[in-house]
Structure 1
Amino acid sequence: MKLCLSVLLITMALCYSLDEARTVCPSLEQYFNDFFLGEIEVFKVQVDSFHVSNPVVEAALKLKECLDTSSPLEKRLLMVKALNKLYEKCKSEKTEDAISA
């Protein structure tokens, strides 16, 4: 659960662009969906799309394997549900700001 909380906090910090504070990065959203629920091969493609070094890819894949083997699907589904609520909140606040401007 500590890992999930860390991921959630990192997502909250990283899902905003600097120029628009409430813009959810779609690739980051897909990254975490693949991380929690995707197959390891699909997740590897997602990680590779960020063009990071091999040690970073290997570390992400090890973390994914650890999550898949140690965390029940029900808990991973709860994390995805919480993240999706965050994304929707970010998107709705952006829409409300655009309307009020």
Structure 2
Amino acid sequence: MRLSLSVLLVTLALCYYDADGVICPAAVTDTTAFLTFNKPLYKLQAGRFDAPPEAVKAKLETKKCADKISIGNRWLILKALAKVVSKGG
């Protein structure tokens, strides 16, 4: 439960930093993929950002923890993210 709340808070902090800001579509896509894709598929998704290999490795390590979040809680996080996106800009 604590991990899912942490992921939600970090997502909100990164995506909704300004009251009238528009959320970057790539951030929404990445967060959605992070929560829903399996590890090999997410690795392909993360590769599109041309990030250093160390950063991709760190993200995949974090994904191991996120993969332990129940499916129901993942959908709650995505639902909250959708509400934030719909109110942005």
TM-score (norm 2): 0.81
Partner of 1:27: 26
Change in CA separation of 1:84 and 1:44 when aligned onto 2, cut-off 3 Å: same
Question: 1:4 corresponds to which letter in structure 2?
Answer: S
Q: Deviations over 1:26-51 (max 9, x none)?
A: 11001010111112222112221222
Change in CA separation of 1:16 and 1:77 when aligned onto 2, cut-off 3 Å: closer
Structure 2 residues not aligned, in runs of 5+: none
Same amino acid, percent of matched pairs:
35
> How many residues are treated as equivalent by the alignment?
89
Deviating beyond 3 angstroms after TM superposition, the runs of 4 or more aligned structure 1 residues are none
Q: Deviations over 1:48-101 (max 9, x none)?
A: 122221111111111112221x221111111111111111111xxx2xxxxxxx
C-alpha distance in 1, partners of 2:30/2:54? 18
Question: 2:2 corresponds to which letter in structure 1?
Answer: K
Partner of 1:75: 73
Structure 1 residues not aligned, in runs of 5+: 95-101
* SS of match in other structure, 1:50: coil
Question: 2:46 corresponds to which letter in structure 1?
Answer: V
User: Larger Rg: 1 or 2?
Assistant: 1
TM-score (norm 1): 0.73
